[in-house]
Amino acid sequence: MNWITLLLFTVFANQPQPFLDEPLPVFPKNEFRSPLDIPIALSGNFGETRKNHFHMGLDMKTNEREGLNVYAIGDGYISRIGVSPFGYGNAVYVTHPNGYTSVYGHLQQFNNRLAQEVRKEQYSKKSFAVDITFPQNKLLVKKGEVIAFSGNTGGSGGPHLHFEIRDAQERTINPYHFGFIVKDDVAPVVNAVEFFSQDADFLDREKKRIGLKKVGDAFVSSDSILRINADAFGIAVNSFDRMTNSTNSFGVYSITLSDNGKDVFTFKNDRHSFDEKRMIIAHLDYPVFLNEAFRAFHKCFVEPGNKLSAYSAVQNNGKINLLDGQVHQLTVSIADFSNNKSLIRLNVVRDTASGFFKSNSSPFTILLKNNFLNVYNTDSLKLSIPGDCIINTTKLKVEKTDAKTSGIFSAVFTINQSLEHLLGAFTIKIKAVLPTFLQNKAVLLWRDEKGKTVSKNGAFESGFVNGNVREFGIYYVGIDTVPPVIRPVSFSTVKPVHTSKKWIFSMSDALSGIKKYDVYIDGEWTLAAYDAKYASLAVINENKWTLGEHQIRIVVTDERDNEKVYASKFIY
């Protein structure tokens, strides 16, 4: 294996975990009103586990429809408006005199005053997607003023209002602290517990999952004492919350682990920072989360790479040390914000003769360490993985196979599993054999956990296609020479269209993705709204054209500069 070079550079020393226990301020509970004028019912709560992030607000139901009035929850000024085909979609930010900012997302449309500001910016930038900030005295609003209307824009999966409250440091605060509480007298649901060896040989031990049953006031295992063949271990609990008169599943508010009556770990969904959102990958058993329909096992111990600040009262990083030979009585208290609790009680003891953790000394290529820059180089694959991407010391197994199908212009590399996501981006370079005229069409391709081919774009340079990625799995090089597809859906070229508010086109790209689009009517740029989740383009009828014949031209470009033009005459 002398063709493999592994260079380990120390880039930072091990740092203590940032459990600062910063106290929460006294939050105002009576200053704000509801953003809706219907009773608050939730489809998602604060801190709920989502793919790649904790949910940063409340998802308020809007009776499964759009167009409900959305009100400013207090006096303040419009500090920001965002329009995007992704994420929050149409969003309004109101900054209040007490220093907090309320955020309203997935909006259908803005009120007339805000809509005029948005239109002006969109035409100035010639872009549907805009992000506008405003000075303090420009757009003042009063408590109870209608600022927008609820919708389903951006990454929304159905009509609702996404609502947040942020502090002056742009950290999201659990809105429950401000009095936005929904009736809840149902305790969290508990299903199972996972055990992780924390011995020096933890990489060669399989985790262990056990089911739980309710006995008296607590969930327990079928064995009165669990005999564990490890000096130390950590646990993860599978739990979610329910609410009164709701069939939705929600995130739990807090989890506290105690060992023989002493708290050794607490997690609370009080406040989250956007620069920590990917720490959910370290907080959960993330491969299980992806592989089992987002089933959340919350780790009650802290991995070396986990910098989430939602922990407190952490002793020994939440790991249970069994070297004293005594039976340890573990209690896990899982609570919602209304203090409905579910308890787990487990008795554990060290027993080197037990088969609790099974051995799994699987082969690997190199070890990745979370306090080093990990570099792996061969003549056809180069990896540079910063230590702060790594949750804990990890076995890396790299397998190379020749491409067996056409359209692949490199070897195919299997780098661990696609279920393994990292805390940050690392660099991958794959050698590609491409004629010169195709080099600018090269695309780095990845297969996700469901086997779907996903473009990671990348760029061809010096014989390699380079990209920055955040997942392990199967990677190879393809090309994208196929332009996007655009066709009319609710747009007629023969019947007058002046009565329609929008003219809908389908717009999609099969591989690298849409980079840019422009719509021109009679040669002048006009506004069109792109909805990524529906792959649709809505040309806005601005009611500024004369009745009669006109020309529409839509130019769509993908990430590899393949261009598609739709052009037609139409009758307005």
Stretch 491-505: mean pLDDT: 95
Q: According to the model, what pLDDT value does residue 559 have? A: 97
pLDDT at 22: 79
pLDDT tens figures, 410-446: 999 999 999 999 999 999 999 999 999 999 999 999 9
Task: Give dist(CA 164, CA 63) in Å, integer.
Answer: 19
Residue 20, pLDDT > 90, answer no
CA–CA gap between residue 176 and residue 57 (Å, rounded): 10
Q: What is the pLDDT of residue 371?
A: 86
In the predicted model, is pLDDT for residue 35 greater than 50? yes
- Give the pLDDT score at 6: 34
- Gyration radius of the chain over CA positions: 27
What φ, ψ does residue 114 adopt, rounded to 5°? -75, -35
Identity (one letter) of the amino acid at 121? E
**CA–CA dist 64, 60 (Å, integer):** 10
- List Cβ neighbours of 561 (8 Å cut-off, separation of 6 or more): 440, 515
Residues 447 and 309: their CA atoms lie apart, in Å, by: 32
C-beta separation of 89 from 131 below 8 A: no
pLDDT at 2: 29
What is the average pLDDT score of the chain?
Answer: 95
In what helix (H) or strand (E) does residue 564 lie, and over which residues does it extend? strand 563-571
Q: How many CA atoms lie within 13 A of 495 on its CB side?
A: 6
In the chain, domain spans = 42-178, 189-350, 366-479, 485-571
- Residue 62: per-residue pLDDT: 98
CA distances 305 to 208, 219, 276, 439, 558, Å, are: 22, 30, 12, 37, 36
pLDDT for 12: 30
* pLDDT of res. 19: 55
- Mean of the pLDDT values across residues 199-206? 95
Q: How close are the terminal C-alpha atoms of the chain, in Å?
A: 70
CATH of domain 485-571: 2.60.40.1220
**CA nearest neighbour of 568 among 539, 535, 527:** 539
446-469 pLDDT, tens digit per residue, is 999 999 999 999 999 999 999 999
Q: What is the mean pLDDT of residues 208-233?
A: 97
- The predicted pLDDT at position 404 comes to 85
In the predicted model, is pLDDT for residue 16 greater than 70?
no
What average pLDDT does the segment 507-516 reach? Answer: 96
Fold (topology level) of 366-479: Chondroitinase Ac; Chain A, domain 3 (2.60.220)
DSSP code, position 322: -
Instruction: Write out the two tokens for 69.
Output: 């009035």
- 42-178 in CATH: which number? 2.70.70.10
Please report which confidence band the pLDDT of residue 21 belongs to, taking 50, 70 and 90 as the band edges: low
| Residue labelled with tokens 């979370």 | 370
For 342-378, write each residue's pLDDT tens digit: 999 999 999 999 999 999 998 999 999 998 999 999 9
Task: Supply the pLDDT for residue 23.
Answer: 87
Listed residue (61, 555, 16, 21) closest to 311, CA to CA: 21
Q: What percent of the chain has pLDDT over 70?
A: 96
Rounded Cα distance, 382 and 526, in Å: 45
User: For residues 421 and 366, what is the distance between their CA atoms, to the nearest angstrom?
Assistant: 18
Task: Classify the phi-psi angles of 541: left when phi > 0, otherwise alpha if psi is within -120 to 50, otherwise beta.
Answer: beta
Q: How far apart are CA 520 and CA 552, in angstroms?
A: 6
pLDDT score of 115 more than 60: yes
Tell me, what's the pLDDT at 14?
37
Residue pointed to by tokens 């859906």: 489
Tens-place pLDDT, residues 312-351: 999 999 999 999 999 999 999 999 999 999 999 999 999 9
Strand partners, 500: none
**Mean pLDDT over residues 262-285, rounded?**
97
